Structure 1
Amino acid sequence: MTNKTTLKTASVLAFERKLDPSDALFFSGDWNKREKADHWDPTSIREKSIRGTISNRLNAKNQDPAKLDAAIEKPNLQTVDVATLPNTCDTLMVRFTLRVLGGAGLPSACNNADYQAKLQSVVKGYVEDNGFSELAHRYAVNLANGRFLWRNRIGAEEVEVVIRKLERGQEAQKWIFDSLSLSLRHFDCPESNQEQLAELAEQLELGLLGERHTLFEITAFVRAGAGQEVFPSQELILDKGKSTKSRTLYDVKGVAAIHSQKIGNALRTIDTWYPQDGEQDFGPIAVEPYGSVTTQGSAFRQPKEKVDFYNLLDNWVLKDQKPALDNQHFVMATLVRGGVFGEADK
């Protein structure tokens, strides 16, 4: 057995992600013709120019009535991208594929053989005790409840998610979920969905265990209303150059789409194991080493509290201090997420 007092974290340590989604493309059609969705038209993006008003918070020196009146007289002209359903279509279809890979916990790069051997022993022990059943259940719920739709799910009259397991390009299994019947706040599910979710989670777990090739096609139907705006990913333009456009939306060859990274973020929003402060419940957050939630400007897994990924992993691998079961799930979910986790330079 490796002497744990001499074992050190590898300086080169990287893991490939094991949930590998594609971009999600947008299509438009009629809710009552979902069986013919393969023939629906792509949803496109167009530009729109608008004349806005001054509405930002003013500093003290600009609150003089005369200055404010002068500012309001100046038009706030903007050019933005927008995506909408046609006036003849009431339903958005969002479609992507998801590949599930085995080998979670096996580094794609590691320059310390002793560390890799100990890490694989830790991962093997976790899998023997728990499998990937808890993680797979949570990933399955996030597919079924349509979390990956993001803003498109809000205010929808109906949302249906159809998941097909593909083998050699053909449908092998199929599950259909009423997404609005499933919560985004927890991973309990109504009795009517339990059997289907158990079957889906089993297939996800088999993929994570590497016991079979696992590929899914996920199709979500969102009944939003004819002509309503839909919400692809927004591009981050670092070098705007001469562009005057204030909002640029993502498209794939002219078809509105959501980034694969944003789909992946939604699927791994399963961390309810982070420390909760008082009675405020933020619900599940995405699995990140420090529990980072950029929209709230917070890191829910602080290193000083020893609940971040690096402290938990080092204690588990280097010191044989097995975390509580919830944090074991978190560590394994982070390895499924993938990333570069080598020892930092001193």
Structure 2
Amino acid sequence: MSLKLPDVLSFQRGTIITDGLMSSIVLDKNGEEKTIPVKVIRHGIRGVNSHPKGDNVANIQRTESAKSHPQSIGLSVTFSFRTIPASSLMFGCSDPAFRRVADGFMEEFFTRGVLEFDEVCRRYARNILNGRWLWRNRILGETQVTATVGNKKYLSQGSRLRDFDAYTEDEQGLAQAIATGLLSSDNVSPAIKVEGRVLFGFTGEVEVFPSQNMVNNKPKGFARSLYKVDMLSRRELQEVMNGANKNGSDAGDFIADIIDMGKAAIRDQKIGNAVRTIDTWYKDFSGVPIPVEPNGASLEANTVFRKGNQSANALMSKMDEMHPGQTFNEGAAFLIAILIRGGVFSESK
């Protein structure tokens, strides 16, 4: 018999992730490596209009780009990650009976040695070490990832993005650190410091790819906005433009043609989306994992893969029927990952 989900049911996110700060890898005079933050630069371009009116194909735009240092040999992206105790995941539940069922599910399944829990942790570990979270930057060269927990380092060994089997010793070690945080009782979990390095194979200035900002009602002629930290404030940007215009309206845009907008970064949300791209348990799985989402929504495929009895709400209503055993339960594995993801799962009256 299916349980009725409460009018109020929510779980907080079980992962804490920072932005991924982007830096150029350069060699100093002694041949030692050092890093220099990658800047986001606002500038003008003369592009081509894909849908020209008449014979004028020019497309004059102001846009933002991020490029590595002219002497760079590669790109470094760093972020920190940790998990919170499973006992803290439930944020709100208006039905005491359902709370007892959910607590029982978490007590049974969030345990070392449980097939489904161990597999979710291993998949998280693989998606950290394979560099999936570097997104487009992976195509720029050879990718290397290191995850550091205390004085222990876990290294990438290959870049398997679609398979979740034959885990390396490093992946299993990192999975143990992830599990330790989820099973902690005192809210003190291991901090995991991650660095992804992309080595170009040459020295030079290379365009790299921070996250892009969603901008509604973009000004005419503005192409794109990139994500940055320590960014130039709106007032400072206005001062730059106004100061430039003091030399005459004809010279204004020229003087402010290249503006340092801040340091390039990959947004924490985008890193988290990549790390939780572990769902291969949906009905029509065709070899491509999707992010863990309540209804299996995939922006890449622009479709929803989990409908009806495969959705998170439908599976939660059967929590009381799930118990660890010798056979892997794909529904339980998905629910473990959903609880770590967090979200609101209320059902209105």
**TM bucket normalised to smaller:** 0.7 to 0.9
Does the 8 Å CA contact 1:132/1:209 hold for their aligned counterparts? no
Q: How many residues align?
A: 308
1:90 to 62, 70, 73: 73
- Aligned equivalent of 2:134, options 135, 149, 153: 149
CA-CA distance at 1:335 after TM superposition: 0.6
Q: In the alignment, which of 134, 150, 161 is matched to residue 145 of structure 2?
A: 161
Map of 2:175 onto structure 1? 201
Q: Hey, what's the Cα distance between the residues in 2 that align with 1:273 and 1:18?
A: 21
Give, in whole Å, the separation in 2 of the partners of 1:26 and 1:296. Answer: 28
The reply on whether 1:337 has 2:333 as its aligned counterpart is no
In the alignment, structure 1 segments of 5+ residues that lack a partner are 57-67, 166-170
What amino acid sits opposite 1:264 in the alignment? G
Report if the CA contact (8 A) 1:207-1:214 is conserved. Answer: yes
CA–CA distance in 1 between the matches of 2:215 and 2:130? 31
Deviation at 1:104, TM superposition (A): 5.8
2:150 matches 1:133: no
The corresponding residue for 2:12 is 16
TM-score by length of 2: 0.81
CA 1:321–1:332: 2 relative to 1, 3 Å: closer
1:119–1:98: structure 2 CA closer, same or farther, 3 Å change rule?
same
Match in the other structure for 1:312: 315
Amino acid at match of 2:182: L
Deviations 1:246-284 (A, max 9, x none): 10001001110011000100110000111126xxx3411
Contact residue 148 and residue 263 of structure 1 kept, 8 A: yes
- Among residues 51, 54, 62, which one is paired with 2:49 in the alignment? 54
Alpha-carbon distance between aligned partners in 1 of 2:148 and 2:80, rounded to the nearest angstrom: 9
SS at 2:66 equivalent: strand
Q: Which residue of 1 aligns with 2:292?
A: 287
Task: Quote the Cα distance in structure 1 between the aligned partners of 2:32 and 2:195.
Answer: 13
Which residues of structure 2 form unaligned runs of 5+?
A: 231-261
* Secondary structure at the counterpart of residue 202 of structure 1: helix
- How much does 1:239 deviate? 4.3
Q: Distance in 1 between matches of 2:277 and 2:27?
A: 28
8 Å Cα contact 1:53-1:75 kept in structure 2 = yes
Matched, 1:122 2:113: no
SS for the counterpart of 2:44 is strand
Q: Does 1:29 align with 2:25?
A: yes
Are the equivalent residues in 1 in contact too, given 2:40–2:264 (CA < 8 A)? Answer: yes
Q: CA 1:106/1:227 → structure 2, altered by over 3 Å: closer, same or farther?
A: closer
Contact 1:91 1:221 in 2 (8 A): yes
Q: Which residue of 1 aligns with 2:35?
A: 40
How far apart in 2 are the matches of 1:291 and 1:108? 22
Is the counterpart of residue 258 in structure 1 residue 266 in structure 2? yes
Taking a change above 3 Å as real, the CA distance of residues 131 and 283 of structure 1, as seen in their structure-2 partners, is closer
Structure 1 length-normalised TM: 0.82
Q: Verify the 8 A CA contact 1:104 1:336 in the aligned structure 2.
A: no
Measured after TM superposition, the shift of residue 321 of structure 1 is 6.3
| SS of the residue 1:96 aligns to | strand
Residues 232, 257 of structure 1: 8 Å contact kept: yes
1:322 deviates by: 6.7
**Which residue identity does 1:22 align to in structure 2?**
T
- Distance in 2, matches of 1:250 and 1:244, equals 19
Identity %: 33
Higher alpha-carbon deviation: 209-218 or 288-297: 209-218
Q: Deviations over 1:272-314 (max 9, x none)?
A: 111126xxx34111000111111221111112xx111111111
Amino acid at match of 1:173: K
Distance of 2:154 and 2:322 partners within structure 1: 40
1:213 corresponding residue in structure 2: 189
Residue aligned with 1:247, SS: coil
Q: Deviations over 1:22-62 (max 9, x none)?
A: 001000013899x966x411000112322222325xxxxxx
Q: State which drifts further: 23-32 or 109-118.
A: 23-32
| Aligned partner letter, 1:199 | G
1:109 paired with 2:117, answer: no
Closer/same/farther in 2, CA of residues 125 and 321 from structure 1, 3 Å limit = closer
Please tell me whether the aligned partners of residues 54 and 72 of structure 1 are also in contact (alpha carbons under 8 angstroms).
no
Residue 16 of structure 2 aligns to a residue whose secondary structure is: strand
Which amino acid counterpart does residue 154 of structure 2 have in structure 1? W
Q: The residue matched to 2:49 in structure 1 has which SS?
A: coil
Q: CA RMSD in A?
A: 2.5
Against the structure 1 CA distance between its residues 36 and 238, is the aligned structure 2 distance closer, same or farther, given a 3 Å change threshold?
farther
Say which SS state the counterpart of residue 79 (structure 1) adopts: strand
Matched, 1:231 2:231: no
